[in-house]
Structure 1
Amino acid sequence: MSVVTMPAQRPLHGIACMLAAAALFVGMDSLAKYLGDHYSPVQLAWSRYSVHLIVLVALLAIMGRLTRAELESRAPWGQFGRGLLLLGATLFAYLSVRVLPLTQVYVVNFSSPLIVTLLAIPLLKEKVGAKRLLAAVCGFSGVLIAVQPDVGGLNANLLLPVGMAVCFALYQLATRYFAAQDSALTSLLYTATAGGLVSTLAVPFFWVPVQSEDIALFVLIGVLGALSHFALIEAMRSASASLVSPFLYSQLIWATLIGYWFFGDYPTKATFIGAGLVAMAGGYLIINERHQH
């Protein structure tokens, strides 16, 4: 039985990929929020994964990488389960933005990096130093300050973004685990296949005719989905989950900009204070990683 080694550690490359993934995620979620008033979350998820799969297969064919080596997985069922975790996170996300203010959805979702940092210790046997853990907590505190959730307005619907955060955290940990066994393209292919297959089986029960002016947006959701998760997989392959996951906090910056430009959400002073804490926490992790390598 051959021994599979982990990919070489490239912490700064991993951080850059996670920052890119964060920006792409916000773009995809913003499109889903815009379309969510007229279409079912299941239909949006179907478009996101089906287009993702078509784009990925086309790119692999053009690159000449649609080979048995790319298609075969050393852990096919585990990879399929990993894809279902992401599908679950997507459905929870699309359901959340329909029934809750976006700020409440984000504050719960941003607990995902902290969940990853904590679970990486028992599940992946990663060593998380006190300073790195403190930086993750600092970033989460910055998010709380920025969005200022209305504690008095909490309700049972918050279980939806909680489900999203937990599914996404487990997906990230599974991505890191299977990086030792499969290439990034293989992992991405299984992600698209699992989501595309299950959502295709479900979408006939939720179908609403797509308006001609929305077709391009449906396609774009899938394209952004493919790019964002390729970046996420590369981040997890390049550095430890507990290091790169806190950089998903940068979604707050993109969400603020997109909210201002497209949805008329004006950021408050607290938003800038919280974003500053997030930036300082991330900056500390980069500086600390430079000194260690």
Structure 2
Amino acid sequence: MLITGLLVLTATTCIVLGDAAGKALTEAGFDPFFVAWTRFACAAIALAPFCGLTSDSLRVLLDKRVILRAALIAAAISSILTALSTTPLPDAFGAFFIGPVVAFVLSALLLGETLGRGRSALLALGFGGVLLVVKPGFGLTPGIGFALLAGVLYGCFLVATRWLSGAVRPRLLLFSQLLIGAILLTPLGATTVLPQITPGAALLVLASAAGSAIGNFLLVWVSRTTPASIVAPLIYTQLIAATVVGATFFGDWPDLLTLAGLCIILASGLGSLWLGRTAR
């Protein structure tokens, strides 16, 4: 359990560091679509040798369900990068965690899944934390709006992943979202007007792609041997990484309401972990 927790914490930290690099690029004038496109393209190239591609892989990559799933994550990443261009990391990630609530509702409606009263109550608690971060009616900004959109899209992506679980190998599923995402984003990402690309900017592009690729690869690897009921709640540790990275690199300190919301969301995730362990 300790090793699993450390691996998931490493994965979520890598993802946050990748998003931090993306935030630095957007603040330097790079279009979010360009950052998203390079992230998908570089990660696809880097992970291709490790994904066990075969002659049957092309059939999977042309599956409409696989393409839909990849489109959802490409749109989600583009939205969160747009949000991060104007919004502090912890605020954006707090709003982004509307995703588990969306995934729960859609899983119940479309897949017939049930989580029970305990998990439902914890998700409702997490939703309350999201509301504190978002501050609807008096604190909602365009950046937070894009973060919410990213969370909704990511929730749909999670449901699509469950829909395809068992039908596609995990590594091929990861590679499909990277390759198809890169292809879908090419018309927007490859045609943007770019500021001067300095060695520092090129390093940030690589860091953005590497952080996302390593983080997601670790999550897929852990998920092969660890139940989803254990892995999913641990992903909430991303909020800790986002708060620390935001404060360290950007001086983004959450206000009291946002901090309270982040703590509630984290408590909701850890409560789900405890509930999952006791149920076993």
Give TM-score scaled by structure 2 length. 0.83
**1:26 corresponds to:** 16
Give yes or no for contact 1:71–1:186 (8 Å, CA) kept in 2: no
Letter in 1 for 2:245: I
What's the offset of the Cα at 1:90? 1.1
When the two chains are superposed, the root-mean-square deviation of aligned CA atoms in Å is 3.2
Residue aligning to 1:199: 185
What is aligned with 2:207? Answer: 220
- Kindly state the Cα deviation for residue 135 of structure 1 after the two structures are TM-superposed: 1.4
Matched residue type, 1:203:
G
Question: In 1, distance between residues paired with 2:218 and 2:23?
Answer: 22
Map Cα deviations across residues 158-207 of structure 1 (whole Å, 9 max, x no partner): 54233212211111111122121011111011111111112223333204
Return the letter of the residue paired with 1:137: A
Deviation (angstroms), 1:286: 2.4
Partner of 2:25: 35
8 Å CA contact retained: 2:96, 2:147: yes
1:1-293 residue pairs with structure 2 within 5 A?
A: 19-37=9-27, 38-60=29-51, 65-68=52-55, 73=60, 76-100=63-87, 102=89, 104-145=91-132, 147=133, 149=135, 151-154=137-140, 158-208=144-194, 209-233=196-220, 239-240=227-228, 245-267=232-254, 273-293=260-280
Deviation, structure 1 residue 137: 2.2
Alpha-carbon distance change, 16 to 135 in structure 1, aligned in 2, over 3 angstroms: farther
Going from structure 1 to structure 2, the CA distance change for 1:123 and 1:257 (only over 3 Å counts) comes to: same
SS in 1 for 2:162: helix
Distance in 1, Cα, partners of 2:269 & 2:143: 31
TM-superposed CA distance for 1:23, in Å, is 2.6
Cα contact 2:43–2:209 (8 A) shared by 1: yes
CA contact (8 A) 2:71 2:181 kept: yes
- How many Å apart are 1:130 and its aligned residue? 0.8
Partner Cα distance (1:44, 1:179) in 2? 29
Alpha-carbon distance, 1:99 to partner:
4.2
How far 1:113 moved relative to its partner? 1.2
Residue segments in structure 2 that go unaligned for 5+ positions in a row: none
**How many residues are matched?**
277
Q: Identify the range of structure 1 (222-231 vs 43-52) with the bigger mean alpha-carbon deviation.
A: 222-231
Distance change in 2, residues 1:76/1:262 (3 Å): same
What is the alpha-carbon distance in structure 1 between the residues aligned to residue 183 and residue 62 of structure 2?
A: 18
Secondary structure of the 1:152 match is coil
Deviations 1:249-272 (A, max 9, x none): 322211111112111123555566
Q: Distance in 2 between matches of 1:126 and 1:234?
A: 24
